[in-house]
Amino acid sequence: MGQYSFSAYRLPQQKTLMILLFLGLIITSSESFSLGERRRPRIGVPKPTPRPVVSPDSFSYATAENDAIDILQAPGGKGMGAFASASILAGEWIGEYTGEYMTRKQVEARYWEQRKPNKYDRKWRNSRKRRNQGVSGDYLFGMGDDVYIDGEDSEVSCWCRFMNHASHGDAKGQCNAETWSVCRDDDGSELDMPQLWFKALRDIDVGEEICYDYGVDYWDDDNNL
């Protein structure tokens, strides 16, 4: 684009002033967009990057076998899913969502690109890639107090990472589980770190896929949590 001088047009002073004000608004708006807070990637929302295939020898698969869960291809293009290989009664604890505990600062650097990664963040990423583990951020659970459980690393996460989404009231989706945050042990003592468990909402038959509602925030484009 060539360079132009407003004086070359000899515009009336009033029109020149209006044009300059208009250009000023455009520049101000552009600066506000670029310098303002960046929209954070949605927590747990799939990114356009391929996920590594979880090895059947991983800890995730081992816990599934121990808890009578089959990890199989789910219908509807959802990828792998968790299916009951034994009947589960309503109100029964299904499993604990395990993984790597992270602080908010770690999540901001490793997944949200809101903080420059330090040497520990880079070491963490290199370890994930070396072991063929994903770095999508799709498996984060916020536990409050800036604590997160990241279930993406299959060497430390249980089979619950395979549970797919289904909405409440969606008969086809068959939402049959819900999350429970646990901060105290059975004896009432406070846990060092909060835990996340899944409980059956109703009886679950053998061969049925176990699903729960990911919640509105998971699908919301404007999620700024």
DSSP character string of 122-173: HHHHHHHHHTT-----TTEEE-STTEEEE---TTT--GGGGPEE--TT-TTT
Lowest-confidence segment of 101-105, 170-174, 203-207 by average pLDDT? 170-174
167 pLDDT band (50/70/90 cuts)? confident
CA dist 190 and 193 (Å) reads 9
CA dist 5 and 7 (Å) reads 5
**97 to 16, 33, 41, 107, 211: CA distances (angstroms):** 64, 38, 22, 18, 13
Average confidence (pLDDT) over 97-121: 97
DSSP 73-124: EPSTT--EEEEESS-B-TT-EEEE---EEEEHHHHHHHTS--S---HHHHHH
Q: For 20, phi and psi rounded to 5 degrees?
A: -65, -40
Among 206, 198, 135, 134, which Cα is nearest to 163's? 198
Average confidence (pLDDT) over 42-62: 74
- Cβ neighbours of 111 (radius 10 Å): 21
Q: Give me the chain's average pLDDT, please.
A: 79
The rounded Cα 141 to chain-centroid distance in angstroms is 7
Lowest-confidence segment of 9-23, 79-93, 153-167 by average pLDDT? 9-23
pTM > 0.75: no
What pLDDT shows up at residue 186?
Answer: 84
What residues are paired with 96 via a beta bridge?
197
Average confidence (pLDDT) over 167-184: 81
Q: Looking at domain 59-219, what is its CATH homologous superfamily?
A: SET domain (2.170.270.10)
Average confidence (pLDDT) over 90-106: 97
